[in-house]
Amino acid sequence: MAIIPITIYGDKILRQKAQQVKALSDDIIEKIGDMFETMRNANGLGLAANQVGFRESIFVLDLKGVDGYEKFKPLVMINPQIILESEKKIILEEGCLSLPTLHAEVERSESIKVRFLNTDEKEVEIEADRLLARVILHENDHLLGMMIPDRVSEELRKMLKKDLKHIMDREIQIDYPITEM
């Protein structure tokens, strides 16, 4: 497994919609392993394929480092589809490995139902709430070419403009590898 530089705000691939996976290959399985390695190296909870330069509709999750999720089994979601979102919304602060140093309050559904393929190419449906729902929705946004600034008010986006420029220009200090300009 390898640690891959993370794409950051301004990298074009983050704004492109992911491509559906037609069939799992050894190459894709290797990419998934690299994604877990990269996510853990950066102390992330989730990582979408386009955050490491891959175009496939895949993200990985591992919440076991969070209080209350110690028994969480890492998840791989291939071709995920959010099929139900609760009407109840919650606003919480989010960060993102592709937006290093930036945090913002984001409103998301409290609970969801998601359908995806696992690494055995079996269709799985799960219900998720609280943190798991939030991380799934966040990573799914990446696969749709969306990021935190797309989920906040126009007023907050204006306030974040300077921070976003610093990120785009790589004028940030972080302890994991990112793509070069």
Q: Which residues are catalytic?
A: 139
First to last CA, the chain: 25
Contacts 24+ apart (CB under 8 A), 20-23: 20/57, 20/79, 21/56, 21/57, 21/58, 21/78, 21/79, 21/117, 23/121
Distance separating alpha carbons of residues 75 and 66, to the nearest angstrom: 15
The structure tokens listed for 134 are 């939030």
Distance separating alpha carbons of residues 24 and 153, to the nearest angstrom: 39
Distance separating alpha carbons of residues 77 and 73, to the nearest angstrom: 13
How many Cβ atoms sit within 10 Å of the Cβ of residue 133? 23
